[in-house]
Structure 1
Amino acid sequence: MHDFWTIRPMETGEEEKVSALVRRVFDLFVAPEYEPEGVQSFYRYIEPQCLRERAAKDHDILLAFVDKTPVGVLELREGRHISLLFVDAMFQGRGIARALLEEAIALARQRDPQVAKITVNASPNSAFIYERLGFRATGPRQSRDGIIFIPMEKPLEPLAAQGNVSSEDAP
């Protein structure tokens, strides 16, 4: 729990609200930069049934709530790649994206304590946000199925470097 929001995994039945949140933010900030093909590709990706299917497989979908309203979402694929990170426009700039990312990194490390990086294909207008979160571009601006992105990654420090004591260090 944070000052005014909580983070938890998406539960079955919340897919409609999550899809609507992502679409609202996408339409406001990302869609204006895309060709119609990219917008339609993205809409297909965030359909509630698709969210449900991915969550049942190898995707973790984390939600940030204010009261009982979802205001942020992060989808992590295979414990290593962010496929969605959206925060409601009214709640941006308050640390919700950073908190979702920290929670996603913790999940990634639960799956694989040696995970060395988290990747994302950032929309061009969000690249600066990812840079503030510690990501760096790993390639040029690209387009796939009309979706424009910049590949980025965030190197993760080894757990031992963060002050965790390994069994080798124990007396």
Structure 2
Amino acid sequence: MDVKDIEAVSSICCASFSYSIAHTLSEEGKETFANIAANNAFLGRMKGDNLMLVSENDKKIEGIIELKEGRHIAMLFISPERQKKGIGRKLLSSALKHAKVDTVTVSASLSSIPAYEKYGFECKGEAKESAGLVYQPMEIKLNGAKQTIK
């Protein structure tokens, strides 16, 4: 992901969030997500130890994944009209090749649990809430060869 991609990435995250998650959350949760997905927030995280990859089709960005500190999936969003086409799987597989740990975590939105389970993640503990965002802690154990996602 390049700085020039930030506006498109932010837009995809917000559209996907609105499409599949926003209706399940409080106003606080919606505001928290808007702050996390804002252009300046992405820019700040790009300067840290976060890997951000995008998927493009005909030079148009259709998905984003963010791997925080090589250990945690912080964002995985696909344009609503491009979901269920294998884009998330490809992004996740690419990001996990850069993992710095044997176990990668994600704080999955409740609606995304089935997708993460399909990719090989397992639920760890009970669902939680932080700043209005409701999530399920999940993790995947990687083998030494950095597995390919199913």
Q: TM-score normalized by structure 1? A: 0.83
Match of 2:66 in 1: 75
Match of 2:49 in 1: 58
Matches within 5 A, 1:1-171: 10-108=1-99, 112=100, 115-159=101-145
Query: CA–CA distance in 2 between the matches of 1:69 and 1:106?
Result: 24
Render the CA deviation track for 1:85-125: whole Å, top value 9, x for unaligned. 011122111111110011101122xxx3xx21111000000
Render the CA deviation track for 1:115-155: whole Å, top value 9, x for unaligned. 21111000000000000000000011110000000000011
The aligned length equals: 147
Q: TM-score normalized by structure 2? A: 0.94
When Rg is computed on C-alpha atoms for both structures, the one with the higher figure is 1
Q: Kindly, what percent of the aligned residue pairs are identical?
A: 33
Displaced runs of 4 or more, over 4 A: none
Unaligned segments of structure 2, at least 5 residues: none
Letter in 1 for 2:63: G
Post-superposition shift, 1:14?
1.4
Q: For the aligned residues, what is the CA RMSD? A: 1.2
